[in-house]
Amino acid sequence: MLAAALNEAGGYELVGETTFGKGTVQQSYDFGDGSEMNLSMFRWLTSAGNDIHEEGVEPTIEQTQPDYFYATALAIDEPLEPNDNNDQVRSAQEILLGLGYEPGRTDGYFDEQTENAVIAFQEMADDLDVNGTINEETAQALHTSIVEQIREPSNDRQLNRAIEVILEQAS
């Protein structure tokens, strides 16, 4: 809603990607038996009267983030190892790639190149077993490292593009 208002009422550029499009307001009702019901009661409209529900707000300047910004955290029940093929491996591959290691693929198949990337990551860490598999400790270290990478302002493409736009408009 803020992005739409900035654009429609203020004429400001919107840098990024189309928003999710949640445009309803829900109200919760608690019942005496401990149950609860949520009802969608209202719709948010932009300052120009547009309904964004399930539509989102389109940016005026499209700018994506690196894929690793969207990688899901690893939930390791059993170690990930060569020949595994699943979404957890895919997330690990995206994280490794974002950290500068070369897993060779990001399709979720744990091959030799992915194993070598895991080994290279484990060798750089102080307290990880270097074995090429992703256990809880390696998964946590990958998560911590990628969060640090995401928090680094120089890696935020949308922020940096927005700053460029502001500087261009100011000159």
Q: What is the 3-state secondary structure (H, E, C) of 106-162?
A: CCCECCHHHHHHHHHHHHHCCCCCCCCCECHHHHHHHHHHHHHHHHCHHHCHHHHHH
Does pLDDT of 171 surpass 90? no
Task: Specify the higher pLDDT residue, 48 or 79.
Answer: 79
Alpha carbons within 13 angstroms on the beta-carbon side of residue 151 total 6
Does pLDDT of 24 surpass 90? no
Q: For the segment 29-68, what is each residue's pLDDT rounded down to a tens digit?
A: 999 899 999 998 888 888 888 888 888 899 999 999 999 9
pLDDT confidence tier of residue 69, bands split at 50, 70 and 90: very high
Question: What H or E segment, with its residue span, contains residue 93?
Answer: helix 87-98
Q: For the segment 91-143, what is each residue's pLDDT rounded down to a tens digit?
A: 999 999 999 999 999 999 999 999 999 999 999 998 999 999 999 999 999 99
- What is the CB neighbour count within 10 angstroms for residue 138? 24
Q: What is the mean pLDDT of residues 63-85?
A: 95
**Distance between CA atoms of 112 and 109, rounded to whole angstroms?**
10
**Distance between CA atoms of 116 and 6, rounded to whole angstroms?**
47
**Under the phi-then-psi rule, with left for phi > 0, alpha for psi from -120 to 50, and beta for the rest, what region is 29?**
beta
**Distance between CA atoms of 90 and 71, rounded to whole angstroms?**
9
Residue 34 DSSP code = S
**Given this model, what pLDDT does residue 25 score?**
86
**Given this model, what pLDDT does residue 166 score?**
93
**Distance between CA atoms of 68 and 95, rounded to whole angstroms?**
6
